[in-house]
Chain A
Amino acid sequence: MAADPSKPLFPVESSHHPKPPSRKPQTLTAESKFWRSFKNSELASGLILPVTALEFSPVPPHDLAAASSAAVYLFDGATLSPKPFSPLSSFSDVAYSPSFRCDGALLAAGGESGIVQVFRLDRAGHALRRLRAHARPVRLVRYPRVADKLHIFSGGDDALLSYWDVPSETQVLSFPGAHHDYIRAGSPSPVSSEVIATGSYDHTVKVWDVRVSSNANPVLGFSHGAPVESVLFLPSGGLLATAGGNCVKIWDVIGGGRLVHTVEGHNKTVTAMCLGRMRNNESSGRGGGESRLMSVSIDGYLKIFDFAAYKITHSMRYPAQLLSVGFSPSGLARVVGTSNGTIYMGKKKMKEKEGDIFGAKVVSEFDTFAPGPVKHVLRPNFRYFRRGQNEKPQETDYIVKRAAKVKLAEYDKLLKEFRHKDALVAALNQKNPNSIVAVMEELVARKKLLKSVVNLDTDELRLLLGFLHKYATMPRYARFLMGLAKRVLELRAEDIRSKDELKGYVRNLKRMIAEEIKIQHSLQEIQGMISPLLVIAGR
């Protein structure tokens, strides 16, 4: 059966200017859907001072350590609630750079006082070890990432980089004058426990290998071009990301420090970076999902960078300067630390539910007695009458489509019934200038506009005059509406004279016209000034 080829009903449309170009549809990419799926809240910890560092434990449940003021705060990884013995507050001054050991049992942190302290995490208490060598604040304390439980790297404002044997509290290696300025950033290599990259305020990034003799020469060094705030090895260990100034640079370490890419997404200094793994529930197994580089800046933006495609895939804005960022290896939590002590966290909460379902299943499977399903008494309730209405068709089903109902605006319906004045009033009541002009143009095409204007009663005339006052000088409608305003005043002069309320509108119109004339005058002046210039330029 052929479709009925008789013409459809065209709703009226303003032709005086084309529709604004339709904005590209807000279809979220899978990427932004993932990043938006975090439920945002503030991590209540009542801090006032800047949160300088956020670190997740590498082992489940991925506890969180946050350095702020003279303490390191610990949060449970699953619930993000404070741990019972938090905070670790045996610091005499501001604490910096907490770092978890690779098994998550110990935590090391530096401080303003220059002492590096190592804590146990399973119970409260004083520091297990205190490593003293730095004369100035220690902003960089890192455990190696790979299977090395004995050593620590530390770097401080005295430009000293140390390699410690923790149990004996002794320096295995030290590189005095490793940089020419404060060492503020560093990242141990994810593939080798002996390699660390450090970044300093002298704009350079250096890669050190403790197996190479201690003649204070780095394996590799290159200049970032700005004070380096953060250094991060990407998961392969071959690429290094450095942040400084308002750009993030990706370097090829194996290729001898070649600059691979520069990300210029931030407007102010980039303060911290971390790695995040996009892990959806389906692929929640280990290693699922793609890795992303997350960087925060004091312009308040968190940007997600896809370092495989070299593309910023998502960005979020926070209402404060951001100093630190962390992303849980479980993929369920994202935390951002700010300069005013607030920690913003985004949390995915699917896991719990999943666990519940799983648990329930287990129970029902192993229970010996399972109660049978409660038999529903057939009652003619609402659902009964609607049964089957939400049934989805199967692929083999033949679908009989109902003709799509055409949605018509009220004025379109009235125009269809040839109720011209009512259509005009309906459009005026909607206060959308586009549709009002569209209806007026349609009435012109039917030669009914002036007749409708004549038939308007006082209230409706007031609507029309109000509309004309507001839009008659708008450039896109002006040519049509100016003429119309003139005709309306001519046609309804007597009504306007007799009604005081309408006089006000006419006064408004007058004022508007005076303003418009003034604008036109000044525009003509400008044109007069410009046209000689253009003529000269044309020669």
Chain B
Amino acid sequence: MITGGQSFVSSPPAFSHDGKKLLVCTGRTVSVFSTSTGMLITELEGHADRVTSIVVIPVAVAASKFVSYCWTSSLDGIICYWDFSVPELVKKVKVGLPIFSMVIPNVSRNPVGSNEKMSTLFAYLSVEDINKPADQHKALRGQIQIYNLTNSHRVKGLLAETLNPVFISVSKSGEYIGIPNKRKLHIWKVPGKDCKCDEIKKIKLYHTKKLSTLAFHPYERMVAGGDVTGRILIWRGFGKRKFSENLQATGKGRTTNEEERPGVRGDDDADSCATWHWHSSEIKFLFFSSDGAYLYSGAKEGVLVIWQLDTGKRKYKPRLGSPLLYFTDSPDPSLSCISCADNQIHLLKMPTMEIKKSIAGIKLPFSSPDGYKGLGSEFAYDHAAGLVALPTKDYCVQFFSLYDNLEVSEVQVCEKNFQPADDVTIYVALISLSADGFVMGTVDVKLPEERLGGLVSLKFWKHGSRMGEYSLSTVIYEPHSDAGISALAFRPGHDMAVSSSFGGDFKVWVHSSYTEDTDQMLQKSGWRCQSIGSYKKKPMTAAAFSADGSVLAVAAGTVVTLWDPDSNILVAIIGDTLSPITRLSFIGKSEYLVSSSKGSKPQLSVWSTSNLSMYWSYKLFAQDVSCTADGSQFAVLANHNSLDDTTTRDGDGVILLFDVENPVPLATWSVQKAKRGGLTFLPPNPSFHDTKCKEGKDTSLLLYINGDHEYVIFDPHSSEENQIRRNAQKSQAPPEEAVRFGYASIYGELPDISLKKEQIPEIPFVPSERPWETIFSGSSHVLPPLTKLCSAFLASLLEKRPSGNE
């Protein structure tokens, strides 16, 4: 069983203490990536639910460089302590409530390797109180608790209660922690030694809008808050009255005039408050640079804004391509990372804001507008290479390697600038890959503005030299005039494709090369329409070729029409379903055809092409249908909604494996988040199988992608789960390389200059018998100064003791 496709951006990532590794929360595991290569190094497995925060223990002494520990918290209510270089679970602390956010403010005060006695670690947790009913409107389900990690017991009392669990921010020095709570910020001063909830000092800062995030200045008493309208508020000198040690200062603070505190609301405990407004939507993160001169902010526009704190001037890093979620900086000043909503983490080279590497996960689903919806699955599969192609929000097609859990490439379908803040008006509606993966067809749709200027274009792409590389071959604008395209299918073994449209016709496209420009003999090739067919002007809703490519089946409303694709002759018509067919597929090489229809009367039917009649059918809402390439089995992903089952949650589904001959399913699996999920059979991959399991039986694997684009690959024919393993565990760790800071990072290593003087072999010279005779000879301007000569002269007069070589 292989799982993959986790979200990288559900929680903020964290850098290791040397900035060489990036710890990313990926579902139940924490993935450790190398920042130099962007490849996965290792995974920390142990949590039972989504990991929500990571706290890396800083390292003080250079000697303990290779020690790397971190704390992680998860929704399963457990805090784990890891040695992530090995990787090894060291300690587990059970909290019991789902933890949404965890900070350990005093973690920096006792770094690993220091000789001082370890002081007690206190974790501040934002947990969800699951005891309170969820449906009650005003229930305060969020709690801020303190937990003593050293002796694993909870400190009594609550810091605060909020409507929902919130994200806790901590200042760099660990002096303050804060949360946004509706229209105010709560800020606590973290006590030095022991913690008691009622002794912790707390202030509130008020605002008129709902606050979404906050950040503390690294060393000044300054806090920045972002609200849902895109404003940034900066309070300077907060908590002077409350957090000051001596009470006299507090008294003075009270006497200061209101006029001297510009922008501060009411009786808030701050010196001044400034408002900056550039973003047009909710601020997702705020972050002060480590030198405290800049503030980074990000929101839905996909533009990282850098504010100069003193002047309020802005700089931008535009076109990151997606709403921004988190910003994390590393101990290495030239590296930081930014998490985007499209499941990418960009590693930025800092002063220039250049993207150095991107860690890309599978693209997350996005809601395409309802006006036009491809009825089939939104995924396309390259079975041979084990790739899935899926549309992205920024008009691309992403190719994702299922076995390696890695993005392979991205193909830009529409050359348009993507504005994350705007509504979706252009999107890739359909992707189809030929069986061998050499040709890709895409359909992109531009929605009209009040019935003006809509456009459907069909594009054919040619496979390039590398995996997942495609180059544009042909563009067809409005292939079915202004009607939308419902399905696109390639004919196996031929350069032929069919597109069916809601406008009531289907077109058969063929690939042809022709010569143009007689004296140049230019070879051009492209796709052109070979024939057009229609059946009673009914909207064509699905199309499929048989496995040998001899029959084309097109669903015209509730009937299936069978055509000869070469001569475009209607061969046969098969029966009637209750509602329009949305999905058609030939079952392997057999004579059977499976169709599924959605709508008010969903139906899953198997048709026999030999006697042109229905074989058997179910009343079943099938999300996706997939057939094996050569066998007679097929799998159906069905929604629970249609089944009379009230106990399951909405969106849960079931995978049913059928054999054509038998309407009783061979196997069933129940799955979550089946809505907009996908299902396909993958050919057996020899690298995953032991030799023992090749016993001649069908060994193809089944892939299930759920609505969040997490996927699982398993063998549908065996109950044992451990047969297939990812061929990972091959270490992708980069070779350790010396980190270069400062001078060396710019100019490279200095050549070794030996401080020792060069050893010139002493020239042996025989002193004359009587040096005092020659020592003063020569003209006076050539002679050394007398002070030097004198000592030499005197030395020469003294009788030398015979040296020790006798």
Residues of A within 8 A of B (CB): 1-2, 4-10, 13, 15-18, 24, 440-450, 480, 483-484, 487
Interface positions of B from 439 to 470, Cβ below 8 Å from A: 446, 448-455, 457
Do B355 and A7 have beta carbons less than 8 Å apart?
no
Contacts of A24 in B (CB 8 A): 517, 520
Contact of A445 among B358, B426, B477 (CB under 8 A): B426
Q: B779 an interface residue at 8 Å Cβ cutoff?
A: no
Besides A5-B358, A444-B449, A444-B453, 12 other A-B contacts (C-beta < 8 A): A6-B346, A7-B394, A7-B417, A15-B457, A15-B477, A442-B416, A445-B425, A445-B446, A446-B419, A446-B425, A447-B425, A484-B453
Given contacts A15-B455, A444-B452, A484-B452, contact A7 B319 (CB under 8 A): yes
Q: Is the CB of B415 within 8 A of A16?
A: no
Q: Are A480 and B422 in contact (CB under 8 A)?
A: no
Contact with A along B348-380 (1 / 0, CB 8 A): 010000111110000000000000000000000
> Can you list 27 pairs linking A and B with CB atoms under 8 Å apart?
A1-B354, A2-B356, A4-B354, A6-B319, A6-B321, A6-B346, A7-B394, A7-B412, A7-B418, A15-B455, A17-B477, A18-B475, A24-B520, A440-B453, A441-B453, A441-B455, A442-B416, A444-B425, A444-B446, A447-B423, A447-B425, A448-B449, A449-B452, A450-B450, A480-B453, A483-B451, A487-B450
* A9 (CB) vs chain B CBs: closest residue: B417
B454 to chain A, nearest CB (A): 8
Are A444's CB and B319's CB within 8 A? no
Residue B674 lies at the interface, judged by CB distance under 8 Å to chain A: no
Instruction: Give the shortest distance, in Å, between A296 (CB) and chain B (any CB).
Output: 23
Residues of B at the A interface (CB closer than 8 Å) are: 319-321, 346, 349, 354-358, 394, 412, 415-419, 422-423, 425-426, 446, 448-455, 457, 475, 477, 517, 520
Bound-complex Cα distance A447 to B422 (A):
9
What A residues does B418 contact at CB under 8 A?
Answer: 7
Known: A7-B321, A10-B416. A449 touches B453 (CB 8 A): yes
Interface core residue of B356, B448, B449 (most chain A CB under 10 Å) = B449
Chain A residues with CB under 8 Å of B417's CB are: 7, 9-10
Closest 6 CB pairs of A and B: A444-B453, A10-B415, A444-B449, A4-B354, A445-B425, A483-B452
The interface residues of chain A lying within 8 Å CB-to-CB of B412 are: 7
Across-interface contacts of A487 in B (CB, < 8 A): 450, 452
Given known contacts A450-B449, A483-B451, A6 and B415 CB-to-CB distance under 8 angstroms = no
B412 to chain A, nearest CB (A): 8
Partner of B448, one of A15, A16, A18, A444: A444
Cα–Cα, bound, A164→B454 (Å): 87
- Bound-complex Cα distance A6 to B419 (A): 14
Nearest B residue to A418, CB-CB: B419
Q: Is the interface of A mostly helix, strand, loop or mixed?
A: loop
Residues on the A chain within 8 Å of B358, using CB? 5
- Closest chain B residue, CB of each to CB of A480: B453
| B452 and A480 contact, CB distance less than 8 A | yes
Residue from the list A9, A441, A445 in contact with B319, Cβ < 8 A: A9
B781 CB to nearest A CB, Å: 41
Give the CA-CA distance A247 to B477 in the complex, in Å.
Answer: 47
Report how far A447 CA is from B321 CA in the complex, Å: 20
Docked complex Cα distance between A251 and B426 (Å): 66
B346's nearest neighbour on chain A, judged by CB, is: A6
Query: Taking CB as reference atom, which chain A residue is nearest B454?
Result: A444
Asked whether A446 lies within 8 Å of B422 as measured between CB atoms, the reply is yes
Contacts of B416 in A (CB 8 A): 10, 442, 445
Which chain A residue has the least Cβ–Cβ distance from B317? Answer: A6
Give the residues in chain B near A441, CB-CB below 8 Å: 446, 453, 455
Within 8 Å CB of B426, what residues of A? Answer: 445
For B356, the chain A residues whose CB sits under 8 A away are 1-2
Name the CB-closest residue of A to B357: A2
Counting residue pairs across A and B whose Cβ atoms lie within 8 Å, the total is 78
Closest chain B residue, CB of each to CB of A448: B449
Minimum CB–CB distance from B230 to chain A (whole Å) comes to 15
The residues of B that contact A444 with a CB separation of less than 8 Å are: 425, 446, 448-449, 452-454
State A487–B475 Cα separation when bound (angstroms). 29
Question: Is B449 touching A447 in the complex (CB atoms < 8 A)?
Answer: yes
Knowing A7-B394, A441-B453, A444-B448, say if A16 contacts B320 (CB, 8 Å).
no
CB distance from A445 to the nearest CB of B (A): 5
Q: Which residues of A contact B453 (CB under 8 A)?
A: 440-441, 444, 449, 480, 483-484
Residue of A nearest to B396 (CB): A7
Q: Are B423 and A16 in contact (CB under 8 A)?
A: no
Q: Most B CB atoms within 10 A — which of A6, A9, A10, A441?
A: A6
B345 → A minimal CB distance (Å): 13
Q: Is the CB of B415 within 8 A of A13?
A: yes
* CA of A4 to CA of B355, assembled, Å: 5
B309 to chain A, nearest CB (A): 26
Residues of A within 8 A of B475 (CB): 18
> Nearest chain A CB to B334's CB is how many angstroms away?
12
> Shortest CB–CB separation between residue A405 and chain B, in angstroms?
16
A440, B454: Cα distance in complex, Å: 12
Task: Name the residue of chain B whose CB is nearest to the CB of A21.
Answer: B516
Q: Once bound together, how far apart are the Cα atoms of A6 and B346, in whole Å?
A: 9
Q: Which residues of B contact A13 (CB under 8 A)?
A: 415
**Who on chain B is nearest to A445 by CB?**
B425
Q: What is the CB-to-nearest-CB distance from A429 to chain B, in angstroms, rounded to a whole number?
A: 21
A9 to B452, CA, bound (A): 25
Tell me how far the C-beta of A472 lies from the nearest C-beta in chain B, rounded to whole angstroms.
13
Q: CA of A8 to CA of B415 in the docked complex: distance in angstroms?
A: 10
C-alpha gap A480/B446 in the complex (Å): 13
Best-surrounded residue of A16, A446, A448 (most CB of chain B within 10 A): A446
Cβ contacts under 8 Å, B457 to chain A: 15
| Contact A449 B354, CB 8 Å, known A10-B416, A17-B477 | no
The interface residues of chain A lying within 8 Å CB-to-CB of B357 are 2
- Select the residue from A5, A13, A24, A480 with max chain B CB neighbours within 10 A: A5
| CB-based nearest A residue for B444 | A15
Chain A residues with CB under 8 A of B520? 24
Q: Are B449 and A6 in contact (CB under 8 A)?
A: no
- Give Cα A446 to B416, complex, Å: 11
A5 to B446, CA, bound (A): 26
CA distance A67 to B185 in the complex (A): 105
> Which of chain B's residues has its CB closest to A412's CB?
B417
> Which residues on the B side are within 8 Å of A4 (C-beta)?
354-355
A10 to B355, CA, bound (A): 19
- Nearest residue in A to B354 (C-beta to C-beta)? A4
Q: How far is the CA of A24 from the CA of B346 in the complex (A)?
A: 41
Of the candidates A2, A4, A443, A480, the one having the most CB atoms from chain B within 10 angstroms of its own CB is A4
Give min CB distance, A21 to chain B, whole Å.
9
**What distance in Å separates the Cβ of B426 from its nearest Cβ neighbour in chain A?**
6
* Docked CA distance A368–B452 (Å): 86
On chain B, the residues within 8 Å of A10 by CB distance are 415-417
A2 CB to closest chain B CB, in angstroms?
Answer: 6
Q: How far is the CB of B560 from chain A (nearest CB, A)?
A: 28
B446 — which chain A residues lie within 8 A by C-beta? 15, 441, 444-445
State in angstroms the CA–CA spacing of A7 and B449 once bound together: 26
Chain B residues with CB under 8 A of A2? 356-357
Q: Roughly how many angstroms separate A8 CA and B320 CA in the complex, as a whole number?
A: 10
State the Cβ distance, A486 to closest chain B Cβ, in Å. Answer: 9
Closest to A440 in B: B453
Indicate if the CB atoms of B477 and A16 lie closer than 8 Å: yes
Across-interface contacts of B517 in A (CB, < 8 A)? 24
Q: How far is the CB of A489 from chain B (nearest CB, A)?
A: 13
CB-nearest residue of chain A to B394: A7
Q: Please, how many angstroms separate the alpha-carbon atoms of A446 and B415 in the complex?
A: 14
Residues in B with CB closer than 8 Å to A443 are: 449
Q: How far is the CA of A272 from the CA of B238 in the complex (A)?
A: 100
- Whether B450 pairs with A5 at a CB distance below 8 angstroms is no
- Tell me which residues across on chain B come within 8 A of A17, comparing CB atoms: 477
Contact residues in A for B451 (Cβ distance below 8 Å): 483
B477 contacts which chain A residues (CB < 8 A)?
15-18
User: B423 to chain A: which residues have CB within 8 Å?
Assistant: 447
Q: Which residues of A contact B452 (CB under 8 A)?
A: 444, 449-450, 480, 483-484, 487
